[in-house]
Structure 1
Amino acid sequence: MVAGWIEHVTGSFEDKKRWRRYKARKEELPPSYRTAIDGIERYLMYRGAISKGDVLMTMCEDLADLVEQAAADQTPVRDVVGEDPVEFAETFIANYADGQWIDKERRRLTDAIDQAAEQEHGRGGPA
């Protein structure tokens, strides 16, 4: 009971463990790949606005998988992200849109307009 309340206030203990494992994985990367993943992660955190901890962790773990594989294959960082790292990051984060806080607001807006349309229809207004 208490653990559930604490997790509700502070966030999932499992997500915290996953975060620590992810950070440890990053520390094992060669310096150039670590610099790249740090830069990408920073951008994703600011741009992504992901509010679901599990989605955020999945995104970070997928990023670590990608960069670890590139390091293992000795693929140059620029070959991974291309000439435009912002485009790479934007494309990458698009795969995790379900976790963004704006999704909730998009649903709320759609629901409000649906409700307004139903109210109009119910009172004989335009459908």
Structure 2
Amino acid sequence: MAAKWIETITGSLEQKKQYKQAKARMEALPEPYAASAGAVQRYLMYSGDITDGDTMVQMLVDLADLWERASIDGTPVGDIVGDDPVEFAESFAQAYGGKRWIDKERARLNKAIDEARKEQS
């Protein structure tokens, strides 16, 4: 009962557990994979703007999978992210639908303009 009350306030405890596990997996990678995975993960957290917890957790689990596989295979970091790491991270994030912070602002803008148009009619 207490867990349900806490989750109502803080969000899913299972999501937090999965997030921490994915982050720990990336931190456990050998260098330079750990640093690269951490940098991409940090960028996604700041710019990915996904608001759905399930989508965010799945994205981070997949990111951990990607870097673990690259480490095992010995794939060079440059072969993973290409010439533009920002483009790589943004393309990676776009593969995950989910609601984004900007969606709320887009809806507000559309509503404000619709109301303004109605006033002029």
Q: Within 2, Cα distance between the matches of 1:97 and 1:104?
A: 15
Q: Is the 8 A contact 1:40 1:89 kept in 2?
A: yes
How many angstroms does 1:112 deviate by? Answer: 5.9
Tell me the equivalent position of 1:11. Answer: 11
Tell me the equivalent position of 1:100. Answer: 100
Q: Is the 8 A contact 2:27 2:38 kept in 1?
A: no
Q: Within 2, Cα distance between the matches of 1:66 and 1:37?
A: 9
Q: Within 2, Cα distance between the matches of 1:63 and 1:112?
A: 38
Structure 1 residues 67 and 75 mapped into 2: Cα distance closer, same or farther (>3 Å)? same
Structure 1: unaligned runs, 5 residues or longer? none
Q: Secondary structure at the match of 2:98?
A: helix
Structure 2: unaligned runs, 5 residues or longer? none
Q: Within 2, Cα distance between the matches of 1:53 and 1:17?
A: 12
**Greater gyration radius:** 1
Instruction: Give the TM-score normalised by structure 1.
Output: 0.80
Q: Within 1, Cα distance between the matches of 2:79 and 2:50?
A: 27
Tell me the equivalent position of 1:78. Answer: 78
Tell me the equivalent position of 1:91. Answer: 91
- Superposed counterparts of 1:1-127, under 5 Å: 1-110=1-110, 116=115, 120=118, 125=121
Instruction: Give the TM-score normalised by structure 2.
Output: 0.83
Q: How many residues align?
A: 121
Give the residue type in structure 1 aligned to 2:46.
Y
Q: Is the 8 A contact 1:56 1:99 kept in 2?
A: no
Q: Secondary structure at the match of 2:75?
A: coil
Q: Is the 8 A contact 1:97 1:103 kept in 2?
A: no
How many angstroms does 1:110 deviate by? Answer: 4.3
Q: Within 1, Cα distance between the matches of 2:75 and 2:105?
A: 39
Q: Within 1, Cα distance between the matches of 2:14 and 2:39?
A: 25
Q: Is the 8 A contact 1:51 1:101 kept in 2?
A: yes
